[in-house]
């Protein structure tokens, strides 16, 4: 099997099409294959009804070198996936007493009685290998046929993921379907939009023969991936190009790989034993929540406040009420006072403050809806910057978070 | 166009196949179509490369009555989706100065310069209608051709979702692709698991001929939908059944429709002019963030604290340090003291507190990792409850939020 086997994923399940369950298998398996150097070619999501499987199976079996299916292996009478696919492939279903015993043992250990329905889960294709399910009843299947590979995996994520990791990926590696090492470099940027980034990289794109560039925008960051699909060993050239891009990007360079802005801030603060506090008005706890989502945050994050009312700002962090009256609660002056106030109250080296109108109501002539001030306090100074944002409330909170954390990152790096 | 038009969704984007971005469009659009009575038939996810689009477009255009595409409308040189699909369909691309003006206006408002690349976003199919993008640069497209409909939507969710809601669904309704009235009733429950709920409803399920029941579990709530697919006018029968289920469920009944627990709390607090504050340790701002995501929260939410360190608990809300030493910072006593402390500090009728070990580190013999105490303060009492949770950090925060808000809901309703 060549290194670039075409892998297609068929995710079965009406709940996916009805939007009841997110298609986590696409994200998980896609990520695993990406890391292993052979990106998924396509994904199709259909119901697990016999009609829909019959309609689609042959087409995708023909297109793919490797076909992975997820779901449809349950015990209920409407789980007929194995029967239908067996028919499409001309495979016989055989009963496997070893599998039945494993199912019986599992039920016994959970003090449950095996249902008659579970019996059908002990059937598999005559020519297939069984992938034992440590975390559920339905085993997976591995079938080599017509120079292709079919992998059938159970639906529940906590059953699929260990099975994929422990049994499928090693077989893929053995067969050369995936590699040990990633064949591209990703560079993560901040503060530069996708179109301006493309313009910046144009000279490199034109100069490098065979270079492929792909972009992916995230909130607050734009990634681009460089690869040389036709080179066997692109690694040195990629490393050189990465250095060149890093210089070209200057302050807009964030990292190679997948660290986020917050990952970087967290790493620096912990290494330098610095402390951080936050006081948020319009973002209402979004920032402290994001910070405390990362393990290790308790090493540097002392605490935060969501001072949603004007009173709580005066009360909790001693923002002078005449300052608020004179400049308006949404102002550079109040954002600065809030940042100093919380840093003093909680005795931290750094702090972040936010105050703004993120809608739907609010806004003044000077600062219409969408205006947000972000304050930063450092050991040497305190200041606030004004931003004009658009979009729904939650999107604006996210944007403010990204802007605030990037301001902090720049302070920490002396940029 | 018949009511049961076959709708196929094509989600474009290599980042989806690489597992870098979850396929949120499938979940969102699937859910919207389900609610509107015409479930999606299939979804295919491919890269937006010209080869992959050419390989697949004709096949799905032939199968579908309605084809929806997402993504691939960006300004960079590798965004060639419109060009390729135009070729597949035999459509000419025309430049639209109105669209270009909208793009220029948008950039001007954000103090940005339009890049030459953005110009291509002003092109559309000669026979298509432009779907104006309020939240980004790339407009969507609506094309009626060969008795079918093609809808092209921009990739970013905050651009796609409003466009789909405000422009696509109304057109679908007008064309009879979706229905106005939902032909089912949804009942939302809390505090009862999916399997116990199914057991509870079994007598009804067995008794009612033609009744279809579908379940959907959400964090903190389990929904079930009842429908009679074979009845032309099921509405009266459904309303009667809903009343019966409401009695059967008792305290586990939350609402019919889509109000969340927080929606209900928000509604009651605003109506009764009550005030709320929060103090969070392990949840780090998750709860105040969720509360402040809803418009109207400033009417009742005064403020919150994320007292992440022990010091900040003593400092900000006067939790006695000997109480912490005697009972441990994660305890019923400290959760209660925190709830009283913040309610007094911010002078609110109600408050919520959280303290716990949500991992990966921490935990004691009495309270291993996963133990969380939630405190509630009301005008008549303050108390805390202990919970044992599992799962990754963010999932545990979500679970604590749901438990806390439901405790508050019950207090407000006198349950």
Q: Are strands B301-306 and B276-280 parallel, antiparallel or unpaired?
A: parallel
Bigger pLDDT: B154 or B317?
A: B154
SS3 content of chain B, % helix, strand, coil (to 5): 45, 20, 35
Distance CA B375, CA B355 (A): 8
Interface contact flag, A195 B117, Cβ < 8 Å: yes
Interface contact flag, A285 B304, Cβ < 8 Å: yes
Residues in chain A closer than 8 A to B56 (CB atoms): 42
Residue B415: burial class (beta carbons within 10 Å; 0-12, 13-18, 19+):
exposed
Exposure letters B88-105 (e unless 16+ CB within 10 A, then b): ebebebeebeebbebbbe
CB A213 within 8 A of CB A201: yes
Interface contact flag, A301 B292, Cβ < 8 Å: no
Interface contact flag, B308 A308, Cβ < 8 Å: no
Structural element, H or E, at residue A303: strand A301-306
Interface contact flag, A195 B115, Cβ < 8 Å: yes
Confidence of residue A368 (pLDDT cuts 50, 70, 90): very high
Confidence of residue A182 (pLDDT cuts 50, 70, 90): low
Distance CA B149, CA B133 (A): 19
Which of B24, B44, B292 lies nearest to residue A284, judging by beta carbons?
B292
Q: Which two tokens stand for residue A345?
A: 């109250």
Tokens 């995710």 correspond to A11
Confidence of residue B3 (pLDDT cuts 50, 70, 90): low
* Residue A62 CB partners (closer than 8 Å, separation 6+): none
- The pLDDT value recorded for residue B311 is 83
Q: What is the mean pLDDT of chain A?
A: 91
CATH class assigned to B184-256: alpha beta
- The pLDDT value recorded for residue A1 is 39
Mean pLDDT of B4-32: 94
- Check whether A253 has a pLDDT greater than 60: yes
Residue B2: burial class (beta carbons within 10 Å; 0-12, 13-18, 19+):
exposed
Chosen for mutation from A58, A303, A305, A399 (greatest number of chain B CBs closer than 10 Å) is A303
- The pLDDT value recorded for residue B117 is 81
- The pLDDT value recorded for residue A374 is 98
Confidence of residue A119 (pLDDT cuts 50, 70, 90): confident
Q: What is the pTM of this model?
A: 0.76
Which of A43, A303, A346 lies nearest to residue B45, judging by beta carbons?
A43
Confidence of residue A392 (pLDDT cuts 50, 70, 90): confident
CB B157 within 8 A of CB B71: no
Q: Taking every pair of C-alpha atoms in chain A, what is the biggest distance, in angstroms?
A: 83
- Check whether B16 has a pLDDT greater than 90: yes
Residues in chain A closer than 8 A to B222 (CB atoms): none
Which of B41, B109, B393 lies nearest to residue A293, judging by beta carbons?
B393
Q: What is the mean pLDDT of chain B?
A: 91
Residues in chain A closer than 8 A to B348 (CB atoms): none
- For chain A, what percent of residues have pLDDT higher than 90? 69
- The pLDDT value recorded for residue B181 is 66
Give the count of beta carbons closer than 10 Å to the beta carbon of residue B364. Answer: 12
Q: Which two tokens stand for residue A75?
A: 């015990």
- For chain B, what percent of residues have pLDDT higher than 70? 99
Alpha helices in A130-285 (DSSP H): 157-163, 169-174, 194-207, 235-249, 261-271
Statement: A7-174 belongs to CATH 3.40.980.10: yes
CB B249 within 8 A of CB B192: yes
Which of B31, B45, B216 lies nearest to residue A42, judging by beta carbons?
B45
Bigger pLDDT: A148 or B235?
A: A148
CB A64 within 8 A of CB A150: no
Distance CA B398, CA B218 (A): 11
Decide if the complex's ipTM is over 0.95. Answer: no
Which of B26, B42, B288 lies nearest to residue A285, judging by beta carbons?
B288
Summarised one tens digit per residue, pLDDT across range A334-361 is 999 999 999 999 999 999 999 999 988 8
Mean pLDDT of B172-201: 86
Residues in chain A closer than 8 A to B345 (CB atoms): 315-316
Confidence of residue A2 (pLDDT cuts 50, 70, 90): very low
Summarised one tens digit per residue, pLDDT across range A309-337 is 888 888 888 888 899 999 999 999 999 99
Summarised one tens digit per residue, pLDDT across range A4-49 is 899 999 999 988 999 988 999 999 999 999 878 889 999 999 999 9
CB A191 within 8 A of CB A251: yes
Which of A19, A284, A393 lies nearest to residue B28, judging by beta carbons?
A19
Q: Is A367 helix (H, G, I), strand (E, B) or coil?
A: coil
CB B333 within 8 A of CB B355: no
**A116 secondary structure, DSSP code:** G
Residues in chain A closer than 8 A to B20 (CB atoms): 30-31, 34, 216, 223
Chosen for mutation from A17, A62, A63, A362 (greatest number of chain B CBs closer than 10 Å) is A17
Confidence of residue B217 (pLDDT cuts 50, 70, 90): confident
Residues in chain A closer than 8 A to B359 (CB atoms): 295
Distance CA B168, CA B160 (A): 10
Summarised one tens digit per residue, pLDDT across range B77-103 is 778 899 999 999 999 999 999 999 988
Helix (H), strand (E), coil (C) string for chain B: CCCCCCEEEEEECHHHHCCCCCCHHHHHHHHHHHHCCCCCCEEEEECCCHHHHHHHHHHHHHHCCEEEEECCCCCCCCCCHHHHHHHHHCCCEEECHHHHHHHHHHHHHCCCCCCHHHHHHHEEECCCEEECCCCCCCCEEEEEECCEEEEEECCCHHHHHHHHHHHHHHHHHHCCCCCCCCCEEEEEECCCCHHHHHHHHHHHHHHCCCCEEEEEEECCEEEEEEECCCCCCCHHHHHHHHHHHHHHHHHHEEEECCCCHHHHHHHHHHHCCCCEEEEECCCCCHHHHHHHHCCCHHHCEEEEEECCCHHHHHHHHCCCHHHHHHHCCCCHHHHHHHHHHHHHHHCCCEEEEEEECCCCCCCCCCCCCCEEEEEEECCCCEEEEEEECCCCHHHHHHHHHHHHHHHHHHHHHCC
Residues in chain A closer than 8 A to B162 (CB atoms): 392
Residues in chain B closer than 8 A to A354 (CB atoms): none
Interface contact flag, A283 B295, Cβ < 8 Å: no
Statement: A261-413 belongs to CATH 3.90.950.20: yes
Domain boundaries, chain B: 7-174, 184-256, 261-413
């Amino acid at each position: 099997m060549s290194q670039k086997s075409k892998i297609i994923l068929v995710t079965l399940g009406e709940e996916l099409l009805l939007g009841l369950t997110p298609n986590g298998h696409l994200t998980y398996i896609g990520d695993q294959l990406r890391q292993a150097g052979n990106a998924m070619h396509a994904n199709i999501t259909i119901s697990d009804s016999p009609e829909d499987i019959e309609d689609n199976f042959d087409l995708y079996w023909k297109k793919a070198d490797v076909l992975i299916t997820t779901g449809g292996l349950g015990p209920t009478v409407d789980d007929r996936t194995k029967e239908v696919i067996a028919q499409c492939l001309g495979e016989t279903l055989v009963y496997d007493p070893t599998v039945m015993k494993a199912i019986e043992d599992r039920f016994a250990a959970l003090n449950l009685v095996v249902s008659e329905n579970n019996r059908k889960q002990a059937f598999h294709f005559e020519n297939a290998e069984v992938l034992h399910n440590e975390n559920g009843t339905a085993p997976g299947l591995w079938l080599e046929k017509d120079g292709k590979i079919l992998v059938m995996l159970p639906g529940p994520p906590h059953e699929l993921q260990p099975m994929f990791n422990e049994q499928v990926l090693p077989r893929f590696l053995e067969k050369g379907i995936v590699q040990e090492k990633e064949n591209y470099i990703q560079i993560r940027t901040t503060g530069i939009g996708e179109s301006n980034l493309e313009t910046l990289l144009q000279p490199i794109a034109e100069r490098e023969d065979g270079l492929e560039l792909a972009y992916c925008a995230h909130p607050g960051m734009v990634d681009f991936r460089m690869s040389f699909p036709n080179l066997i060993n692109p690694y040195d050239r990629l490393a050189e190009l990465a250095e060149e891009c890093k210089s070209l990007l200057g302050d807009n360079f964030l990292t190679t790989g997948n660290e986020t802005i917050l990952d970087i801030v967290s790493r620096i603060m912990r290494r330098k034993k610095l402390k951080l506090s936050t006081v948020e008005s319009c973002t209402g706890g979004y920032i402290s929540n994001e910070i405390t989502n990362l393990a290790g945050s308790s090493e540097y994050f002392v605490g935060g406040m969501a001072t949603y009312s004007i009173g709580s700002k005066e009360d909790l962090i001693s923002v002078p009420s005449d300052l608020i009256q004179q400049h308006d609660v949404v102002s550079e002056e109040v954002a600065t006072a809030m940042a100093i106030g919380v840093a003093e109250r909680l005795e931290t080296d750094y702090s972040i403050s936010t105050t703004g109108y993120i809608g739907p109501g609010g806004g003044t002539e000077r600062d219409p809806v969408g205006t947000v001030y972000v304050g930063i306090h450092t050991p040497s100074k305190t200041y606030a910057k004004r931003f004009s944002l658009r979009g729904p409330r939650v999107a604006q909170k996210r944007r403010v978070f990204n802007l605030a954390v990037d301001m902090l990152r720049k302070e920490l790096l002396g940029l």
